[in-house]
Amino acid sequence: MKKNYLSKEGYEKLDKELRDLKTRGRREIAEEISEARAKGDLSENAEYDAAKEAQGHLESRIAELENTLATATIIDERNIDTSKVYLLSTITILNKKTNKEMKYSLVSKDEADFKAGKISVESPIGQAILGKEIGDVVEVKVPAGMLELEIKNIEK
């Protein structure tokens, strides 16, 4: 079984989402199904079909979250070694082509949020810089082409 490494914050966020889906989410879907049933013939009831499909998506997400949390290992951020890039490292990288510095935190796929500066260790950039040290230069193939990135700083 594959381990999912999460920060304490990431674990709590997913746990909160799971509890919300199991309570509010299930209640809302049940109400939608009940309302659609009350409209009569289920064989030609688009609202009923849509509500049942939404219920399937909801239950799928609940199962996914339950699996993620059941196999999660919470990483203590105080124990992060800053000599190399690891999960939960915050790194500053220089794009050699544009000469722009960017700062990202390396997180699990479940916590990734590019707009918040959190990239997944499973992303092309994440995979390329994992285990590297300050001063290392890596080439990464991304949808926009090849990037040449230099690791400028590693912190917790």
CB within 8 Å of 79: residues ≥ 6 apart: none
CA distance 47 to 52: 9
Among 155, 153, 122, CA closest to 136: 153
* Global confidence as pTM: 0.70
Specify the domain boundaries for CATH 1.10.287.180 within the chain.
Answer: 4-74
CA distance 24 to 17: 10
Per residue in 9-65, pLDDT (tens digit) is: 889 999 999 999 999 999 999 999 888 888 777 777 788 888 899 999 999 999 999
Specify the domain boundaries for CATH 3.10.50.30 within the chain.
Answer: 77-155
pLDDT at residue 36 in the model: 84
In whole angstroms, how far apart are CA 42 and each of 30, 37, 59, 88, 130? 15, 7, 21, 50, 53
Q: CATH for 4-74?
A: 1.10.287.180
Per residue in 56-73, pLDDT (tens digit) is: 999 999 999 999 899 888
CATH class as words, domain 77-155: alpha beta
- Tokens 């009923």 appear where? 48
Per residue in 67-93, pLDDT (tens digit) is: 989 988 888 777 677 788 988 899 999
- At 4, give phi and psi (nearest 5°): -110, 120
